[in-house]
Amino acid sequence: MRIAQILFTQGLGSRRQCAGLIAAGLVRVDGRVVDDALAEFEPQGLVFEVEGRAWPYHERALIMLHKPAGFECSQKPRHHPGVMSLLPAPLRTRGVQPVGRLDADTTGLLLLTDDGRLLHRLTSPRHHVPKVYEASTRHPLTPGQVQQLLAGVVLDDDPAPVRAAEAEATAERALRLVLTEGKYHQVKRMVAAVGNRVEALHRSAFGALTLPADLGPGQWRWIDPEALLPPR
């Protein structure tokens, strides 16, 4: 693939802007300046530099973000900054979008991708992709409340009960839930339905991925889709 096309597909600018970066000597491959927009490279596995910053080629983008509190997952945030503001411009340009949503006050693992098929697979309830949440509650948890969450509770927008795939009290006011659905405010509403209240919420895992301890709030990294989904 021509280097100008590689830059364009990775969100480094318009075709004209990418050609300008190359002509200005701002693109390097293997430490050498590439000033010919028609120069061809094998894109798979390619790492190139633009203005001194290394960029790995990805045909489709999939990234993990440690979402901090106070950021909205909406493409058009209204009351708080959007999570997209935490990402570099090339990722925003190529159109990554959140895989599902976390509330503004919820922290933890958020995936973003520009792969429509993967996005559908991860969010479709038919695929039952598990997500792990750690909740702090206002009142002490009782064994009965945990059993209710496992047995199923009815939310106000659906007569069918929703159940936690797993639920356990990890401390007097701390709850670990595993869900395979993605309803609006689901954890908060489920906990409210059993007579308690969520005071803080953190997503620690999505599919086979666990939020790494060395990925701080507001930081992101590339993810291999194969590491996210278990073998079929």
* Three-state secondary structure of the chain: CEHHHHHHHCCCCCHHHHHHHHHCCCEEECCEECCCCCCECCCCCCEEEECCEEEECCCCCEEEEEECCCCECCCCCCCCCEHHHHCCHHHHHCCCEECCCCCCCCEEEEEEECCHHHHHHHHCHHHCCCEEEEEEECCCCCHHHHHHHHHCEEECCEEEEECCCEEEEEECCEEEEEECCCCCCHHHHHHHHCCCCEEEEEEEEECCEECCCCCCCCCEEECCHHHHCCCC
Fold match between 3-56 and 62-125+208-228?
Answer: no
pLDDT of 228 > 90? The answer is no
CATH superfamily, region 130-206? Alpha-L RNA-binding motif (3.30.70.1560)
Domain 3-56: CATH architecture, name and number where available: Roll (3.10)
User: Pick the catalytic residue: 30, 36, 103, 214?
Assistant: 103
Local confidence band at 181 (pLDDT 50, 70, 90 cut-offs)? confident
Residue 232 pLDDT:
52
103 is a catalytic site residue: yes
pLDDT in tens, 39-74: 999 999 999 999 999 999 999 999 999 999 999 987
pLDDT at 229: 62
Task: Flag whether the pTM goes above 0.95.
Answer: no
Query: Residue 162: pLDDT above 70?
Result: yes
Domain 62-125+208-228 classification at class level: alpha beta
